[in-house]
Homo-oligomer: A and B are copies of this chain.
Amino acid sequence: MSFMYDEEIDGPLPTVDRADLATALRAGAPELEILTELEDLRPFECDGLAAYRTVPLLVVLPSTVYEVRAVLQIAAARGVPVVARGAGTGLSGGAMPLEKGILLVMAKFNRILEVDPHACIARVQPGVRNLAISQAVAQHDLYYAPDPSSQIACSIGGNIAENAGGVHCLKYGLTVHNILKLDMLTIDGELITLGADAFDSPGFDLLALFTGSEGMLGVVVEVTVKLLPKPQSVKVLMASFDDVACAGGAVADIIGAGVIPGGLEMMDNLSIRAAEDFVHAGYPVDAEAILLCELDGSQDDVEEDAERVGALLREAGATELRVARDEAERQRFWAGRKNAFGAVGRISPDYYCMDGTIPRRQLPRVLKEIARLSDEFSLKVANVFHAGDGNMHPLILFDANKPGEMDRAEALGGRILELCVEVGGSITGEHGVGREKINQMCVQFNSDEIEYFHAIKAAFDPSRLLNPGKNIPTLHRCAEFGKMHVHHGKLSFPELERF
Protein backbone atom coordinates (compact mmCIF):
# COMPACT_ATOMS: atom_id res chain seq x y z
CA MET A 1 0.00 0.00 0.00
CA SER A 2 1.53 3.23 -1.17
CA PHE A 3 2.64 6.15 0.96
CA MET A 4 1.07 8.59 -1.51
CA TYR A 5 -2.29 10.19 -0.79
CA ASP A 6 -5.01 8.01 -2.30
CA GLU A 7 -8.39 9.69 -2.59
CA GLU A 8 -10.24 6.40 -2.57
CA ILE A 9 -8.63 5.30 0.67
CA ASP A 10 -7.76 8.58 2.39
CA GLY A 11 -10.84 10.57 1.42
CA PRO A 12 -11.79 12.67 -1.62
CA LEU A 13 -10.30 16.12 -2.18
CA PRO A 14 -11.87 18.84 -4.32
CA THR A 15 -10.18 19.86 -7.55
CA VAL A 16 -9.26 23.52 -7.40
CA ASP A 17 -7.86 25.75 -10.11
CA ARG A 18 -4.39 26.98 -9.17
CA ALA A 19 -4.71 30.39 -10.79
CA ASP A 20 -8.14 31.03 -9.25
CA LEU A 21 -6.84 30.14 -5.82
CA ALA A 22 -3.79 32.37 -6.24
CA THR A 23 -6.04 35.27 -7.26
CA ALA A 24 -8.20 34.78 -4.17
CA LEU A 25 -5.13 34.63 -1.90
CA ARG A 26 -3.70 37.80 -3.47
CA ALA A 27 -7.00 39.57 -2.88
CA GLY A 28 -7.12 38.41 0.76
CA ALA A 29 -3.46 39.08 1.56
CA PRO A 30 -1.87 41.49 -0.94
CA GLU A 31 1.65 41.24 0.51
CA LEU A 32 1.66 37.43 0.80
CA GLU A 33 4.41 35.61 -1.10
CA ILE A 34 2.76 32.97 -3.31
CA LEU A 35 4.61 30.45 -5.48
CA THR A 36 2.74 28.90 -8.40
CA GLU A 37 5.40 28.05 -11.02
CA LEU A 38 6.56 24.45 -11.21
CA GLU A 39 10.23 25.44 -10.90
CA ASP A 40 9.43 27.29 -7.65
CA LEU A 41 7.22 24.51 -6.30
CA ARG A 42 9.68 21.68 -6.99
CA PRO A 43 11.97 22.36 -3.97
CA PHE A 44 8.97 21.81 -1.71
CA GLU A 45 7.89 18.46 -3.18
CA CYS A 46 9.11 16.47 -0.17
CA ASP A 47 10.39 16.83 3.36
CA GLY A 48 13.06 14.61 4.98
CA LEU A 49 11.23 11.47 3.75
CA ALA A 50 12.68 12.15 0.33
CA ALA A 51 11.70 8.86 -1.31
CA TYR A 52 8.16 10.18 -1.77
CA ARG A 53 7.45 13.35 -3.70
CA THR A 54 4.38 15.38 -4.64
CA VAL A 55 4.38 18.86 -6.14
CA PRO A 56 1.91 21.00 -4.16
CA LEU A 57 -0.90 22.96 -5.82
CA LEU A 58 0.81 26.11 -4.61
CA VAL A 59 3.10 27.35 -1.84
CA VAL A 60 2.52 30.37 0.39
CA LEU A 61 5.15 31.96 2.64
CA PRO A 62 3.30 34.26 5.05
CA SER A 63 5.22 36.70 7.22
CA THR A 64 2.44 37.84 9.57
CA VAL A 65 -0.30 36.20 11.64
CA TYR A 66 -2.83 38.12 9.56
CA GLU A 67 -1.51 36.48 6.41
CA VAL A 68 -1.69 33.00 7.97
CA ARG A 69 -5.25 33.73 9.01
CA ALA A 70 -6.17 34.93 5.52
CA VAL A 71 -4.72 31.76 3.96
CA LEU A 72 -6.63 29.52 6.38
CA GLN A 73 -9.90 31.38 5.95
CA ILE A 74 -9.67 31.30 2.16
CA ALA A 75 -8.76 27.61 2.24
CA ALA A 76 -11.68 26.89 4.59
CA ALA A 77 -14.12 28.81 2.43
CA ARG A 78 -13.08 26.87 -0.69
CA GLY A 79 -12.52 23.47 0.93
CA VAL A 80 -8.84 23.38 -0.07
CA PRO A 81 -6.58 21.31 2.20
CA VAL A 82 -3.59 23.00 3.90
CA VAL A 83 -0.30 21.33 4.82
CA ALA A 84 1.88 23.39 7.18
CA ARG A 85 5.65 23.04 6.90
CA GLY A 86 8.53 24.15 9.12
CA ALA A 87 12.05 23.53 7.86
CA GLY A 88 11.11 20.36 5.97
CA THR A 89 13.52 18.12 7.90
CA GLY A 90 10.86 15.72 9.22
CA LEU A 91 11.56 12.05 8.54
CA SER A 92 8.03 10.66 8.43
CA GLY A 93 6.59 12.81 5.64
CA GLY A 94 4.45 14.90 7.99
CA ALA A 95 4.97 17.93 5.72
CA MET A 96 4.59 16.01 2.45
CA PRO A 97 2.51 18.21 0.14
CA LEU A 98 -0.79 17.37 -1.56
CA GLU A 99 -1.14 17.99 -5.26
CA LYS A 100 -4.58 19.43 -4.54
CA GLY A 101 -3.48 21.38 -1.46
CA ILE A 102 -1.78 24.56 -0.26
CA LEU A 103 1.66 24.18 1.33
CA LEU A 104 1.90 26.74 4.13
CA VAL A 105 5.62 27.38 4.72
CA MET A 106 6.33 29.08 8.06
CA ALA A 107 9.97 29.91 7.30
CA LYS A 108 9.51 33.67 7.63
CA PHE A 109 8.30 33.36 11.23
CA ASN A 110 11.92 33.32 12.35
CA ARG A 111 12.13 35.89 15.16
CA ILE A 112 13.01 35.34 18.80
CA LEU A 113 10.53 37.71 20.42
CA GLU A 114 11.59 37.70 24.06
CA VAL A 115 14.11 36.03 26.35
CA ASP A 116 13.45 36.16 30.10
CA PRO A 117 16.53 34.63 31.75
CA HIS A 118 15.05 35.16 35.21
CA ALA A 119 11.92 33.13 34.45
CA CYS A 120 13.95 30.76 32.23
CA ILE A 121 11.63 31.16 29.26
CA ALA A 122 11.81 32.40 25.68
CA ARG A 123 8.96 33.47 23.44
CA VAL A 124 9.68 32.64 19.81
CA GLN A 125 8.05 32.37 16.41
CA PRO A 126 7.53 28.85 15.03
CA GLY A 127 10.05 29.16 12.19
CA VAL A 128 12.97 29.75 14.60
CA ARG A 129 15.55 26.99 14.31
CA ASN A 130 15.90 24.68 17.30
CA LEU A 131 19.62 25.41 17.76
CA ALA A 132 19.09 29.16 17.31
CA ILE A 133 17.19 29.23 20.61
CA SER A 134 20.12 27.75 22.54
CA GLN A 135 22.53 30.09 20.74
CA ALA A 136 20.44 33.13 21.62
CA VAL A 137 20.31 32.29 25.32
CA ALA A 138 23.87 30.94 25.71
CA GLN A 139 24.96 34.32 27.11
CA HIS A 140 22.73 33.60 30.13
CA ASP A 141 24.17 30.06 30.55
CA LEU A 142 20.83 28.62 29.51
CA TYR A 143 19.80 26.27 26.70
CA TYR A 144 16.75 24.62 25.16
CA ALA A 145 16.98 20.90 25.93
CA PRO A 146 15.35 18.89 23.11
CA ASP A 147 18.02 18.30 20.46
CA PRO A 148 16.93 16.31 17.41
CA SER A 149 19.87 15.40 15.15
CA SER A 150 18.55 17.97 12.67
CA GLN A 151 18.67 20.73 15.28
CA ILE A 152 20.87 23.00 13.17
CA ALA A 153 18.08 23.21 10.59
CA CYS A 154 14.76 22.07 12.04
CA SER A 155 12.28 24.61 13.36
CA ILE A 156 10.57 24.73 16.73
CA GLY A 157 7.17 24.70 14.97
CA GLY A 158 8.08 21.42 13.30
CA ASN A 159 9.40 20.13 16.63
CA ILE A 160 5.97 20.83 18.16
CA ALA A 161 4.18 19.16 15.23
CA GLU A 162 6.21 15.97 15.75
CA ASN A 163 6.84 16.22 19.52
CA ALA A 164 10.54 15.94 18.67
CA GLY A 165 13.06 14.35 21.02
CA GLY A 166 16.80 13.90 20.60
CA VAL A 167 19.80 12.54 22.43
CA HIS A 168 18.92 14.40 25.63
CA CYS A 169 15.21 13.59 25.85
CA LEU A 170 15.91 10.62 28.13
CA LYS A 171 16.78 13.03 30.92
CA TYR A 172 15.11 16.26 29.84
CA GLY A 173 11.95 15.08 28.11
CA LEU A 174 10.37 15.54 24.71
CA THR A 175 9.20 18.82 23.19
CA VAL A 176 5.91 18.59 25.12
CA HIS A 177 7.85 18.71 28.40
CA ASN A 178 9.82 21.76 27.35
CA ILE A 179 7.13 24.17 26.17
CA LEU A 180 4.78 26.23 28.31
CA LYS A 181 2.33 27.91 25.99
CA LEU A 182 1.48 28.31 22.37
CA ASP A 183 -0.77 30.41 20.19
CA MET A 184 -2.35 28.69 17.26
CA LEU A 185 -4.83 29.51 14.53
CA THR A 186 -7.65 27.09 13.79
CA ILE A 187 -8.71 26.34 10.23
CA ASP A 188 -11.37 29.05 10.69
CA GLY A 189 -8.71 31.58 11.59
CA GLU A 190 -9.55 31.77 15.30
CA LEU A 191 -6.60 32.46 17.59
CA ILE A 192 -6.46 30.03 20.51
CA THR A 193 -3.92 30.08 23.35
CA LEU A 194 -2.98 26.67 24.77
CA GLY A 195 -1.17 26.32 28.10
CA ALA A 196 -0.13 29.27 30.26
CA ASP A 197 2.95 31.04 31.59
CA ALA A 198 2.21 29.20 34.84
CA PHE A 199 3.18 25.55 35.23
CA ASP A 200 -0.29 24.09 34.80
CA SER A 201 -3.47 25.10 33.05
CA PRO A 202 -7.05 24.15 33.91
CA GLY A 203 -9.48 22.34 31.63
CA PHE A 204 -8.36 19.63 29.25
CA ASP A 205 -4.62 19.64 28.47
CA LEU A 206 -4.87 21.01 24.94
CA LEU A 207 -1.17 21.95 24.91
CA ALA A 208 -0.20 18.29 25.19
CA LEU A 209 -2.95 17.26 22.78
CA PHE A 210 -1.65 19.73 20.20
CA THR A 211 2.01 18.77 20.61
CA GLY A 212 2.71 15.93 18.22
CA SER A 213 -0.58 16.40 16.35
CA GLU A 214 1.30 16.94 13.06
CA GLY A 215 -0.50 20.07 11.91
CA MET A 216 -3.92 18.41 11.98
CA LEU A 217 -5.52 20.63 14.64
CA GLY A 218 -4.20 24.10 13.88
CA VAL A 219 -1.17 26.18 12.88
CA VAL A 220 1.23 27.41 15.58
CA VAL A 221 2.08 31.10 15.30
CA GLU A 222 3.97 31.63 18.58
CA VAL A 223 5.46 29.46 21.31
CA THR A 224 6.89 29.96 24.79
CA VAL A 225 9.67 27.46 25.53
CA LYS A 226 11.31 26.56 28.82
CA LEU A 227 15.06 27.06 29.17
CA LEU A 228 17.39 25.04 31.37
CA PRO A 229 20.66 26.07 33.05
CA LYS A 230 23.67 24.58 31.30
CA PRO A 231 25.15 21.70 33.30
CA GLN A 232 28.33 22.51 35.18
CA SER A 233 30.11 19.41 33.96
CA VAL A 234 29.74 16.85 31.15
CA LYS A 235 31.49 13.51 30.64
CA VAL A 236 31.16 10.83 27.97
CA LEU A 237 31.97 7.13 28.38
CA MET A 238 32.30 4.74 25.47
CA ALA A 239 31.95 1.02 26.14
CA SER A 240 32.63 -1.74 23.61
CA PHE A 241 30.81 -5.07 23.58
CA ASP A 242 31.32 -8.25 21.59
CA ASP A 243 27.62 -9.04 21.82
CA VAL A 244 24.76 -6.71 20.89
CA ALA A 245 22.34 -8.20 23.40
CA CYS A 246 24.85 -7.61 26.25
CA ALA A 247 25.02 -3.94 25.29
CA GLY A 248 21.23 -3.85 25.37
CA GLY A 249 21.26 -5.43 28.81
CA ALA A 250 23.76 -2.85 30.08
CA VAL A 251 21.32 -0.07 29.15
CA ALA A 252 18.63 -1.52 31.40
CA ASP A 253 21.22 -2.02 34.17
CA ILE A 254 22.27 1.64 34.13
CA ILE A 255 18.74 3.03 34.21
CA GLY A 256 17.67 0.39 36.71
CA ALA A 257 20.49 1.51 39.03
CA GLY A 258 18.92 4.96 39.16
CA VAL A 259 21.37 6.82 36.95
CA ILE A 260 19.64 8.97 34.33
CA PRO A 261 22.32 9.84 31.78
CA GLY A 262 22.03 13.00 29.68
CA GLY A 263 22.29 10.67 26.69
CA LEU A 264 22.65 6.91 26.28
CA GLU A 265 23.18 5.83 22.69
CA MET A 266 23.97 2.54 21.03
CA MET A 267 25.49 1.63 17.66
CA ASP A 268 26.07 -1.82 16.19
CA ASN A 269 29.06 -3.02 14.21
CA LEU A 270 27.76 -1.97 10.80
CA SER A 271 27.06 1.58 12.05
CA ILE A 272 30.36 1.76 13.94
CA ARG A 273 32.39 0.90 10.84
CA ALA A 274 30.41 3.25 8.60
CA ALA A 275 30.75 6.13 11.07
CA GLU A 276 34.44 5.48 11.70
CA ASP A 277 35.19 5.49 7.97
CA PHE A 278 33.31 8.76 7.62
CA VAL A 279 34.30 10.95 10.60
CA HIS A 280 37.20 9.06 12.30
CA ALA A 281 35.61 9.26 15.72
CA GLY A 282 38.06 6.77 17.19
CA TYR A 283 35.50 3.98 17.45
CA PRO A 284 36.59 0.34 17.96
CA VAL A 285 35.76 -1.11 14.53
CA ASP A 286 35.87 -4.71 15.75
CA ALA A 287 33.26 -4.24 18.46
CA GLU A 288 29.84 -5.76 17.89
CA ALA A 289 28.28 -2.79 19.64
CA ILE A 290 29.24 0.38 21.48
CA LEU A 291 27.35 2.36 24.05
CA LEU A 292 27.93 6.10 24.41
CA CYS A 293 26.88 7.34 27.82
CA GLU A 294 26.88 11.07 28.55
CA LEU A 295 26.62 12.17 32.17
CA ASP A 296 25.90 15.80 33.05
CA GLY A 297 25.35 17.75 36.25
CA SER A 298 27.60 19.05 39.00
CA GLN A 299 31.26 18.05 38.82
CA ASP A 300 31.08 15.77 41.87
CA ASP A 301 27.91 14.12 40.68
CA VAL A 302 29.33 13.44 37.25
CA GLU A 303 32.49 11.91 38.73
CA GLU A 304 30.47 9.70 41.05
CA ASP A 305 28.02 8.58 38.34
CA ALA A 306 30.90 7.89 35.95
CA GLU A 307 32.36 5.44 38.44
CA ARG A 308 29.04 3.68 38.97
CA VAL A 309 28.29 3.50 35.25
CA GLY A 310 31.80 2.24 34.52
CA ALA A 311 31.37 -0.58 37.03
CA LEU A 312 27.94 -1.50 35.63
CA LEU A 313 29.27 -1.56 32.07
CA ARG A 314 32.12 -3.87 33.06
CA GLU A 315 29.73 -6.17 34.93
CA ALA A 316 27.49 -6.26 31.85
CA GLY A 317 30.43 -7.54 29.81
CA ALA A 318 32.05 -4.45 28.28
CA THR A 319 35.35 -5.47 26.67
CA GLU A 320 36.76 -1.95 26.61
CA LEU A 321 35.85 1.24 28.39
CA ARG A 322 37.06 4.71 27.45
CA VAL A 323 36.29 8.12 28.87
CA ALA A 324 36.60 11.13 26.58
CA ARG A 325 39.72 12.90 27.92
CA ASP A 326 38.70 16.37 26.85
CA GLU A 327 36.02 18.36 25.08
CA ALA A 328 37.59 17.69 21.68
CA GLU A 329 37.41 13.93 22.18
CA ARG A 330 33.88 14.20 23.56
CA GLN A 331 32.83 16.06 20.41
CA ARG A 332 34.53 13.36 18.27
CA PHE A 333 32.67 10.58 20.10
CA TRP A 334 29.39 12.36 19.39
CA ALA A 335 30.32 13.28 15.82
CA GLY A 336 30.30 9.58 14.94
CA ARG A 337 26.84 9.09 16.41
CA LYS A 338 25.36 12.28 15.02
CA ASN A 339 26.66 11.54 11.51
CA ALA A 340 25.75 7.86 11.60
CA PHE A 341 22.83 8.26 9.19
CA GLY A 342 25.01 10.12 6.71
CA ALA A 343 27.76 7.54 7.18
CA VAL A 344 25.38 4.69 6.36
CA GLY A 345 24.30 6.68 3.30
CA ARG A 346 27.89 6.36 2.03
CA ILE A 347 27.91 2.55 2.15
CA SER A 348 24.47 1.92 0.65
CA PRO A 349 22.71 3.51 -2.33
CA ASP A 350 19.58 3.92 -0.21
CA TYR A 351 18.50 3.34 3.34
CA TYR A 352 15.23 3.40 5.15
CA CYS A 353 15.36 4.85 8.67
CA MET A 354 12.94 3.26 11.12
CA ASP A 355 11.81 4.83 14.38
CA GLY A 356 10.20 2.38 16.79
CA THR A 357 10.09 2.47 20.56
CA ILE A 358 10.21 -0.48 22.92
CA PRO A 359 10.36 -1.02 26.67
CA ARG A 360 14.07 -0.99 27.56
CA ARG A 361 13.99 -4.48 29.02
CA GLN A 362 13.03 -5.83 25.57
CA LEU A 363 16.20 -4.50 23.88
CA PRO A 364 18.14 -7.80 23.81
CA ARG A 365 15.17 -9.75 22.46
CA VAL A 366 14.29 -7.18 19.79
CA LEU A 367 17.88 -6.80 18.60
CA LYS A 368 18.13 -10.57 18.11
CA GLU A 369 14.84 -10.66 16.21
CA ILE A 370 15.91 -7.78 13.95
CA ALA A 371 19.06 -9.76 13.06
CA ARG A 372 16.86 -12.73 12.17
CA LEU A 373 14.52 -10.60 10.03
CA SER A 374 17.54 -9.06 8.30
CA ASP A 375 18.56 -12.56 7.20
CA GLU A 376 15.02 -13.47 6.21
CA PHE A 377 14.68 -10.42 3.94
CA SER A 378 18.31 -10.54 2.76
CA LEU A 379 18.77 -6.87 3.60
CA LYS A 380 21.41 -5.43 5.92
CA VAL A 381 20.20 -3.49 8.93
CA ALA A 382 22.37 -1.00 10.81
CA ASN A 383 21.24 -0.22 14.35
CA VAL A 384 21.83 3.27 15.71
CA PHE A 385 19.63 4.50 18.47
CA HIS A 386 18.60 6.24 21.64
CA ALA A 387 19.02 3.14 23.77
CA GLY A 388 18.22 4.81 27.08
CA ASP A 389 14.62 5.46 26.19
CA GLY A 390 14.21 2.40 24.00
CA ASN A 391 13.87 4.50 20.86
CA MET A 392 15.36 2.40 18.05
CA HIS A 393 16.47 3.63 14.65
CA PRO A 394 17.20 0.52 12.56
CA LEU A 395 18.50 1.64 9.15
CA ILE A 396 17.50 -0.80 6.43
CA LEU A 397 20.06 -0.76 3.59
CA PHE A 398 18.77 -1.28 0.06
CA ASP A 399 19.25 -0.26 -3.55
CA ALA A 400 16.16 1.26 -5.13
CA ASN A 401 17.55 0.47 -8.58
CA LYS A 402 17.44 -3.26 -7.90
CA PRO A 403 13.95 -4.55 -8.72
CA GLY A 404 11.93 -5.36 -5.63
CA GLU A 405 14.48 -4.14 -3.05
CA MET A 406 12.51 -1.05 -2.08
CA ASP A 407 9.33 -3.06 -1.59
CA ARG A 408 11.32 -5.58 0.46
CA ALA A 409 12.78 -2.78 2.58
CA GLU A 410 9.29 -1.39 3.21
CA ALA A 411 8.02 -4.85 4.15
CA LEU A 412 10.94 -5.45 6.51
CA GLY A 413 10.36 -2.03 8.05
CA GLY A 414 6.73 -2.91 8.64
CA ARG A 415 7.73 -6.16 10.33
CA ILE A 416 10.16 -4.36 12.63
CA LEU A 417 7.47 -1.87 13.68
CA GLU A 418 5.01 -4.67 14.34
CA LEU A 419 7.66 -6.31 16.49
CA CYS A 420 7.89 -3.08 18.48
CA VAL A 421 4.11 -3.12 19.07
CA GLU A 422 4.21 -6.82 19.95
CA VAL A 423 6.68 -6.29 22.82
CA GLY A 424 4.61 -3.43 24.25
CA GLY A 425 6.23 -0.53 22.44
CA SER A 426 5.07 1.79 19.70
CA ILE A 427 5.61 2.42 16.00
CA THR A 428 7.27 5.79 16.47
CA GLY A 429 9.58 7.43 18.96
CA GLU A 430 10.39 10.91 17.81
CA HIS A 431 9.93 11.01 14.02
CA GLY A 432 6.15 10.92 14.11
CA VAL A 433 3.60 9.05 12.05
CA GLY A 434 3.24 11.46 9.15
CA ARG A 435 2.63 9.64 5.91
CA GLU A 436 5.26 6.98 6.52
CA LYS A 437 3.63 5.14 9.45
CA ILE A 438 0.03 5.68 8.42
CA ASN A 439 -0.51 1.97 7.77
CA GLN A 440 1.25 0.86 10.96
CA MET A 441 -1.18 2.98 12.97
CA CYS A 442 -3.71 0.28 12.04
CA VAL A 443 -1.46 -2.19 13.88
CA GLN A 444 -0.87 0.05 16.90
CA PHE A 445 -4.50 0.96 17.48
CA ASN A 446 -7.83 -0.82 17.08
CA SER A 447 -10.70 0.80 15.21
CA ASP A 448 -12.40 2.05 18.41
CA GLU A 449 -9.25 3.91 19.35
CA ILE A 450 -8.83 5.34 15.86
CA GLU A 451 -12.43 6.56 15.94
CA TYR A 452 -11.59 8.62 19.04
CA PHE A 453 -8.67 10.20 17.20
CA HIS A 454 -11.02 11.14 14.37
CA ALA A 455 -13.57 12.55 16.80
CA ILE A 456 -10.88 14.79 18.31
CA LYS A 457 -9.75 15.83 14.86
CA ALA A 458 -13.38 16.68 14.04
CA ALA A 459 -13.62 18.86 17.15
CA PHE A 460 -10.99 21.19 15.67
CA ASP A 461 -11.29 20.62 11.94
CA PRO A 462 -14.57 18.96 10.97
CA SER A 463 -13.94 19.40 7.22
CA ARG A 464 -10.57 17.60 7.45
CA LEU A 465 -8.70 20.41 5.72
CA LEU A 466 -5.57 20.48 7.92
CA ASN A 467 -2.97 17.97 6.74
CA PRO A 468 -5.45 15.25 5.69
CA GLY A 469 -4.10 11.75 5.22
CA LYS A 470 -1.36 12.05 7.86
CA ASN A 471 -1.05 10.75 11.42
CA ILE A 472 -4.51 9.15 11.76
CA PRO A 473 -5.53 6.58 9.12
CA THR A 474 -9.08 6.43 7.83
CA LEU A 475 -10.95 3.30 8.89
CA HIS A 476 -11.15 2.48 5.18
CA ARG A 477 -7.33 2.47 5.05
CA CYS A 478 -7.12 0.15 8.06
CA ALA A 479 -9.67 -2.19 6.50
CA GLU A 480 -7.62 -2.32 3.28
CA PHE A 481 -4.41 -2.74 5.24
CA GLY A 482 -5.95 -5.56 7.27
CA LYS A 483 -6.81 -7.44 4.08
CA MET A 484 -3.24 -7.45 2.83
CA HIS A 485 -1.68 -7.81 6.23
CA VAL A 486 -0.62 -11.10 7.78
CA HIS A 487 -0.71 -10.94 11.53
CA HIS A 488 1.74 -13.79 12.29
CA GLY A 489 -0.71 -14.89 14.98
CA LYS A 490 1.14 -12.87 17.59
CA LEU A 491 -0.18 -9.34 17.78
CA SER A 492 -2.46 -8.75 20.70
CA PHE A 493 -4.67 -5.81 21.49
CA PRO A 494 -5.99 -4.94 24.92
CA GLU A 495 -9.28 -6.73 25.44
CA LEU A 496 -11.50 -6.86 28.42
CA GLU A 497 -10.81 -10.60 28.63
CA ARG A 498 -7.49 -10.06 30.40
CA PHE A 499 -9.19 -8.73 33.52
Contact = CB atoms under 8 A, between A and B. Distances in A.
A212 B206 contact: no
A204 B213 contact: yes
A390 B199 contact: yes
A119 B359 contact: yes
A297 to B, nearest CB: 7
A495 interface: yes
B204 A118 contact: no
Interface string A405-449: 000000000000000100011111110110001000100110011
Interface in A264-305: 297-298, 300-301, 304
Nearest to A69: B496
A361 B202 contact: no
Contacts of A196: 357, 424-426
Contacts of A163: 200, 205
B203 A499 contact: no
Interface string A175-217: 0110000010000001111001111111111101101110000
A229 interface: yes
Nearest to A297: B301
Contacts of A176: 205, 208
Interface stretch (A13-21, A52-60, A370-378, A456-464): A456-464
Interface centre among A206, A432, A452, A455 (most CB of B within 10 A): A452
A202 B66 contact: no
A390 B198 contact: yes
Contacts of A460: 452, 455
A64 interface: yes
B429 A199 contact: yes
Interface stretch (A250-258, A336-344, A396-404, A482-490): A250-258
Nearest to A361: B119
A118 B256 contact: yes
A147 interface: no
Interface in A111-162: 116-120, 141
Nearest to A229: B258
Contacts of A141: 258
Given A298-B300, A455-B460, A426 B209 contact: no
B198 A357 contact: yes
Nearest to A425: B198
16 contacts: A118-B256, A119-B252, A165-B200, A174-B200, A192-B448, A193-B494, A197-B359, A198-B357, A199-B429, A200-B428, A202-B427, A202-B432, A202-B433, A206-B209, A300-B300, A456-B459
